[in-house]
Amino acid sequence: MNKKFLTLGLVSLVTASCFSQIKPLKPNPDAIRFSKAINSENAYKHLSVLASDEYEGRETGTKGAWMAADYIRDYFQSLGLKAPVNGSYFQKIDLINYTVNESVLTINGQPKQVNKDFLIPITSVGPNGFIFNTDEIVFAGYGINREDYNDFEGLNLEGKVVMIFSASPLTAGTEKPTPRSLAMARQKKISYLAQNKAKAVILIDTDFDKLADYSKTTAITGRLMLKNKETEIALQKQNPFNVITISEATANDIFKAAGTSVQDIAKKILESKKPASQTINISLSASSRKKENEVRGENVLGFLEGSDPKLKKEILIITGHYDHIGITPDAVGTDKINNGADDDGSGTTGVLLMAKAFVNAKKAGKGPKRSILFMTVVGEEKGLFGSEWYSEHPVFPVENTIADLNTDMIGRTGEEYLGKPDSANYIYSVGSNMLSSELGKLSEQVNATYTKMKLDYKYDDPKDPERIYYRSDHYNFAKLGIPIIFYYDGMLQQDYHRPGDEVSKINFPLLSKRAKLTYFTAWELANRPKRPAVDMDGKGNLKK
């Protein structure tokens, strides 16, 4: 599930109490018969592959995600599902990122070596790159600006190239800084210089030589983005501040012009507890450009055509995201791979199990009347990219799409249920009444008939600080006015986005039961005479 919170309006939802008198449906023996394909053994077969170390955490745009996409495609093909994207199971997503591909730094006419002597981060390079020259550098110590100590006192920063130490020395009683706190402090200094109209900042990183290659690569590589008009507009609006990080040796080449060195000036500041800010006369030039790169990513779609000539044009979509967050090289311990067994290997597995069940039904002449699109999407962890792309480039008409059932994390017990009697018999149901009161009622009826789980509506609460409703792929369907249900186990702390999200911690009977709830709901939706009416306003209120 996506970690970011989307800034959107709050919702007011119908709660479970409205359906306390729900009467069960008449059990459908065919639905029960074909649900047997959704079992722990089959679930383990899929998830043990998708969440294996070999798949390297399935990060979008990497080998692991491509392997997962190929696995899902091959499975859909083996079932006999149709390839609905012009004969392909893949819906290509236009993903891009940017990398710094031209960086130049010269000091007194002598070129420096990128990644060895300096680097220019992607965040400081605008759409047209940058270039500047200077004959003087303003050295401002540690870039500290306090009442009792101010490295900038008396300095005119406007239009100047300013050099500071990247990190401040520790003082007595100060807790050991974290990478996050160091980054925040560094950004605060950069922001101050930008606000005071400096031309650029040079950061002296005394640990530059110790930086791992992946850290340097990350610094010069931008985040993944969808290539669309919104991205293009946002990129053109960028006007980043020029930042260059240099090694201690490179800093010493600059300090030579002032007759000092990194160690000497750092010692002077610490011993005197006074700024040693000064102007250094030296010739320096820098330039950088960035390059747009296409990144492979695809949604994987398998289509099961409905059996009713009139209803088969209507589509039910069943989704789960197969991507995760990949490898964390600096994770504590020896395990660096974020396997994503629960997030969202479990939901993806559920989609595969349901596809098998419905295909078996069709082969036996009991196929759904409406068509079903089984879709595992990519890029959810990067910003719901795959589902956003489908919503903007639907393979089937939006007006013919009756609902989306989304499974994102259905394999474990969330923190609030640990140790409770119903820890293995609950699911958070999110958004079922947001657009259709009929769908909310049907969800309750299906559960009362087949699975008898506790449906927890906590995350339908408008005061939910986690804003779960906005954080998975169903939301991009809801934005189109398509009724949705999001099934979620509530795991937000234990192993969430960490290497500990392993297959060994999955409760496979619980995963299967939750997938069956989704399946039985899908069965009803695909076979009822009428699609669920959209009678809610998208905020959980009945339309007037």
Predicted confidence band at 180 (pLDDT cuts at 50, 70, 90)?
confident
Considering only CA atoms, which of 299, 275, 397, 403 is closest in space to residue 348? Answer: 299
Handedness of CA 373, 374, 377, 383 (dihedral sign): positive
Instruction: For strands 298-304 and 371-377, give the pairing.
Output: antiparallel
CA distance 412 to 421: 15
- Residue 381 and residue 64 in contact, taking contact as beta carbons nearer than 8 Å: no
CA distance 303 to 81: 5
Q: Which residues lie across from 145 on neighbouring strands?
A: 150
Tokens of residue 483, six digits: 């009724």
Q: Give all strands (DSSP E) within 253-366, no chain letters.
A: 278-295, 298-304, 315-321
Q: Which residues lie across from 407 on neighbouring strands?
A: 487
SS3 392: helix
- Whether domain 17-93+297-527 has CATH 3.40.630.10: yes
CA distance 475 to 460: 13
Residue-level pLDDT at 303: 99
CATH topology for the 97-294 domain = Glucose Oxidase; domain 1 (3.50.30)
CA distance 383 to 3: 9
pLDDT in tens, 136-170: 999 999 999 999 999 999 999 999 999 999 988 75
Residue-level pLDDT at 17: 40
CA distance 162 to 296: 40
pLDDT in tens, 343-383: 999 999 999 999 999 999 999 999 999 999 999 999 999 99
Predicted confidence band at 539 (pLDDT cuts at 50, 70, 90)?
confident
The DSSP secondary-structure symbol of 511 reads H
Residue-level pLDDT at 14: 40
**Residues 417, 423, 429, CA angle at the centre, nearest 5°?**
75
Q: What is the value of pTM for the model shown?
A: 0.91
Considering only CA atoms, which of 463, 517, 448 is closest in space to residue 489? Answer: 517
Kind plus residue range of the DSSP H or E element containing 101: strand 95-107
Cis peptide before 344 (omega within 30 of 0): yes
Q: Where in the chain is the domain with CATH 3.40.630.10?
A: 17-93+297-527
Residue-level pLDDT at 543: 86
Considering only CA atoms, which of 44, 48, 42, 39 is closest in space to residue 513? Answer: 39
Residue with tokens 């769908």: 439
- Residue 460 and residue 451 in contact, taking contact as beta carbons nearer than 8 Å: no
pLDDT exceeds 80 at position 540? no
- Residue 368 and residue 307 in contact, taking contact as beta carbons nearer than 8 Å: yes
Considering only CA atoms, which of 312, 309, 308, 427 is closest in space to residue 373? Answer: 312
Residue-level pLDDT at 5: 52
Q: Where in the chain is the domain with CATH 3.50.30.30?
A: 97-294
pLDDT in tens, 55-84: 999 999 999 999 999 999 999 999 999 999
DSSP string, 407-458: E-S-SS--GGGTTSTTTTSEEEEESTTSS-HHHHHHHHHHIIIII--EEE-G
Residue with tokens 């759409």: 127
Residue-level pLDDT at 345: 98
Considering only CA atoms, which of 334, 487, 478, 371 is closest in space to residue 6? Answer: 478
Tokens of residue 292, six digits: 């747009």
Amino acid at 181: S
SS3 383: helix
Summary mean pLDDT of the chain: 93
Considering only CA atoms, which of 458, 459, 460, 454 is closest in space to residue 426? Answer: 454
* Category of 377 on φ-ψ map: left (φ > 0), alpha (ψ -120 to 50) or beta: beta
Tokens of residue 458, six digits: 């906590």
- Residue 298 and residue 304 in contact, taking contact as beta carbons nearer than 8 Å: no
The mean pLDDT value for 471-489 works out to 97
Q: Higher confidence at residue 254 or residue 6? A: 254
Contacts of 167 (CB under 8 A, 6+ apart): 142, 177, 182, 185, 186, 205, 206
